[in-house]
Amino acid sequence: MNTAKRKIPFGFIDDQAKREIRRSILKAIAIPGYQTPYSSREMPMARGFGTGGLQLTLSLVGRQDVVKVIDQGSDDSVNAVNIRQFVQDVCEGVQTTLRTQEASLIQTRHRIPEVPLREDQVLVFQVPYPDSLVIVESNEATRKCMHGEGDYSRLLVKLYEDMVHFKKITLSHRYPTQIHTHYVIDPSPIPRYDVPRLHQAPNLFLFGAGREKKIYAVPPYTEARPLVLDDIPFEVEDFTHPETGDRYCCEVCGSDRSFLEEFKQADGGSVWQCSDTDFCASMLEAAEAAEGVI
């Protein structure tokens, strides 16, 4: 047995495997929203910790890339920090950043960055459940047929039943979204607020599910529509005060247009903060710079 320490290849995954994953990515882009199977590799972290997204990132990353990793909008969470560190360790020469605008490749869990992305940027999602139909059909073979035929009536029935029993649509995260008028994807647990931002975006969105071994894509400038009943409008999260009707502002930066997270206070009240930490920091910097000028 060879006792010499095996050299870890650039990007951790060997070239052969990368090529295979890239082929699946190309197929996924060519068939928008289609869940393309690929052979998921063992990664030095447990499945469920973004191994699907990480394999996409590592297959795509080149030495000129600048990588950003976010977890629910935050660059600082343990998960984001670990993945960023891992990318740094196995991709010699690759820069990482916290700044959305500086990044060429962004791996994310559960959010789309607040700042609109550009054509030269790629957003990679970590996906826990790739199939939008699991909530209505447990058999995978049947689901495949339903996707093939574009038969999403049972998801629509779910919306009907929601209206009947709850007077509103209860689906919040993982909102079923129809891509290019055919396949309905699970856009991963992003909030509803982010769903319309998939529509006709200049950048490529890639989705990787490690456990389920699936890759799918929303290519640039592609139609992405939340599945709705025609006369029940799609609604995003509501950040307005129920009495005053004013929109809540971020406690830190003062933004009144970003996606906010609610923090319950001991006194029973709530404090709201941007979920996108980079956006929040940028807003704060801009505000401070403006003050400095005065």
Partner 1 sequence: MKPILDVKGLTRIHGKSCDGCLAATGPKVGGNQCPHCGSIVACADVSFQLMEGEILGIIGESGSGKSTVIRLLYMLDQALAGGALLHGGEESAIDLMALNRAQARQLRDRHMGIVHQNPRLGLNYQISAGGNIAERLLMSGNRRYHDIRRIASELLVRTEVPVSRMDDFPGTFSGGMQQRVQIAKALSTRPRLLLLDEVTTGLDLSVQARILDLILELQRELGISMIVVTHDLGVIRLLASRTLVMKTGRIVESGLTDQVLQDPQHAYTQQLVASAL
Distance CA(254)–CA(1), nearest Å, equals 61
Footprint (CB under 5 A) of Zn ion, residues 212-251: 250
| 274 a catalytic residue | yes
Q: What is the DSSP string of 37-102?
A: E--PPP-SS-TTSSHHHHHHHHHH--TT-EEEEEETTBSSSHHHHHHHHHHHHHSTT-EE-S-TTT
202 binds, among partner 1, Zn ion, none (CB under 5 to 8 A by kind): none
Confirm if 69 and 278 have CB atoms less than 8 A apart.
no
154 binds, among Zn ion, partner 1, none (CB under 5 to 8 A by kind): partner 1
Examine residue 164 and tell whether it contacts partner 1 (CB under 8 A).
Answer: yes
Among 255, 275, 277, 282, binds Zn ion (CB under 5 A): 255
| 253 a catalytic residue | yes
Examine residue 280 and tell whether it contacts Zn ion (CB under 5 A).
Answer: yes
Among 230, 243, 267, 291, binds partner 1 (CB under 8 A): 230
- Give whichever of 230 and 291 is closer to partner 1, judged by the CB atom: 230
Catalytic residue among 33, 52, 208, 210: 33
What number of other Cβ atoms are within 10 A of residue 5's Cβ? 6
Can you count the helices (H) and strands (E) in the chain? 6, 12
Residue 247's SS3 state is strand
Confirm if 263 and 271 have CB atoms less than 8 A apart.
yes
255 binds, among Zn ion, partner 1, none (CB under 5 to 8 A by kind): Zn ion
List the one residue out of 213, 275, 214, 211 whose CA is nearest residue 49.
211
252 binds, among partner 1, Zn ion, none (CB under 5 to 8 A by kind): Zn ion
271 binds, among partner 1, Zn ion, none (CB under 5 to 8 A by kind): none
Q: Measured from the CB of residue 33, what is the shortest distance to partner 1 in angstroms?
A: 17
- In sign, the C-alpha dihedral spanning 283, 286, 290, 291 is positive
Among 6, 7, 165, 167, binds partner 1 (CB under 8 A): 165
Strand 260-264 and strand 270-274: the pairing is: antiparallel
Q: Measured from the CB of residue 37, what is the shortest distance to partner 1 in angstroms?
A: 21
Examine residue 253 and tell whether it contacts Zn ion (CB under 5 A).
Answer: yes
Examine residue 148 and tell whether it contacts partner 1 (CB under 8 A).
Answer: yes
Q: Measured from the CB of residue 230, what is the shortest distance to partner 1 in angstroms?
A: 5
- Give whichever of 155 and 274 is closer to Zn ion, judged by the CB atom: 274
| 280 a catalytic residue | yes
Q: Which residues pair with 177 in a beta bridge?
A: 185, 226
- In sign, the C-alpha dihedral spanning 180, 183, 187, 192 is positive
Catalytic residue among 11, 73, 210, 274: 274
Catalytic residue among 91, 150, 280, 292: 280
* Locus of tokens 């890239």: 22
What angle, rounded to 10 degrees, do the helices at 15-30 and 51-60 form?
100
Q: Which stretch binds partner 1 (CB under 8 A): 65-73, 156-164, 207-215, 269-277?
A: 156-164
Q: Which residues pair with 37 in a beta bridge?
A: 214
156 binds, among partner 1, Zn ion, none (CB under 5 to 8 A by kind): partner 1
Q: Tokens standing for 160?
A: 């009907």
Which residues have a catalytic role annotated?
33, 250, 253, 274, 280
Q: Which residues bind partner 1 (CB under 8 A)?
A: 145, 148-151, 153-154, 156-157, 160-161, 163-165, 228-232
